[in-house]
């Protein structure tokens, strides 16, 4: 069975290859060559036509597709309705009505605004012009702070810190080691000597 299918496939392939040898179609290919060569020799080159082509010369044909509705639209439209009437729209014809609701305040706002204030003028903000008013709160302490501050101290003065003016007072605390240190140091030892 396998041999039979192999022989049959070989026969079919042989017939196919013999049909496409190209001897029959040689005349047709010459005709095609002559048609294309005459097409370009007559000045029908698409590249040359594209250079001289203008958008005004192109005619656009829009296919109008008819929409079929299953109901009568005139029943839903006004009488003598024309969809194409007044198609040109201009924003100038549009009337904008702003509903201005007047706000009534119980006080005069000019008392709370700067002199010459105009709400419609662009704001020019300079942070240096803003006055910062700090609300002073008195801190109540249970002790007198003057006892802990230097003489003549003023918190609001222009303070410039000079580290040389600071007097460092070291509190001497006696250290108890539980033995005599002099027994372990050389004779005539002075820790403060230079």
Is residue 152 domain-resident?
no
User: Is 25 a member of any domain?
Assistant: yes
For the segment 130-186, what is each residue's pLDDT rounded down to a tens digit? 888 888 888 888 888 888 888 888 877 776 777 787 888 888 888 888 888 888 888
- Position 84 scores a pLDDT of 80
Residue 40, in any domain of the structure = yes
Choice between 157 and 31, residue whose per-residue pLDDT is larger:
157
Rounded Cα distance, 33 and 38, in Å: 9
Tokens found for residue 20: 């496409």
CA distance 101 to 56: 54
DSSP character at residue 83: T
The answer on pLDDT for 66 being more than 60 is yes
Which residue range(s) make up the domain with 63? Answer: 1-88
14 domain residue, yes or no: yes
Q: What pLDDT shows up at residue 83?
A: 81
**What is the total count of domains within the chain?**
1
* Summary mean pLDDT of the chain: 77
Structure tokens at 36: 């294309």
CA dihedral sign, ordered 19, 24, 29, 31: negative
**Residue 3: what pLDDT?**
78
Domain assignment of residue 63, yes or no: yes
- Residue 50 in domain: yes
Work out whether the CA dihedral 156, 159, 165, 167 comes out positive or negative: positive
Report the pLDDT value the prediction gives residue 44, as an integer from 0 to 100. Answer: 61
Single out the residue of 114, 108, 118 nearest to residue 130, CA to CA: 114
Give dist(CA 144, CA 142) in Å, integer. Answer: 7
pLDDT mean over 24-41? 54
């Amino acid at each position: 069975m396998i041999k039979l299918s192999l022989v049959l496939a070989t026969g079919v392939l042989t017939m196919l290859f013999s049909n496409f040898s190209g001897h029959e179609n040689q005349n047709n290919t010459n005709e095609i060559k002559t048609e294309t060569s005459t097409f370009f020799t007559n000045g029908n080159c698409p590249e040359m036509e594209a250079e001289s082509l203008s958008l005004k010369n192109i005619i656009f044909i829009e296919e109008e597709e008819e929409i079929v509705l299953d109901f009568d639209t005139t029943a839903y439209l006004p009488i003598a309705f024309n969809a194409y009437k007044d198609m040109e729209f201009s924003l100038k014809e549009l009337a904008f009505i702003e509903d201005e609701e007047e706000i009534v305040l119980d006080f005069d706002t000019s008392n709370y605004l700067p002199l010459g204030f105009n709400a419609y003028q662009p704001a020019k903000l300079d942070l240096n012009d803003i006055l910062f008013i700090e609300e002073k709160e008195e801190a109540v302490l249970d002790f007198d702070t003057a006892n802990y501050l230097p003489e003549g101290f003023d918190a609001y003065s222009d303070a410039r810190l000079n580290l040389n003016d600071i007097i460092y007072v070291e509190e001497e605390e006696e250290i108890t080691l539980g033995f005599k240190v002099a027994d372990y140091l050389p004779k005539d030892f002075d820790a403060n000597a230079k």
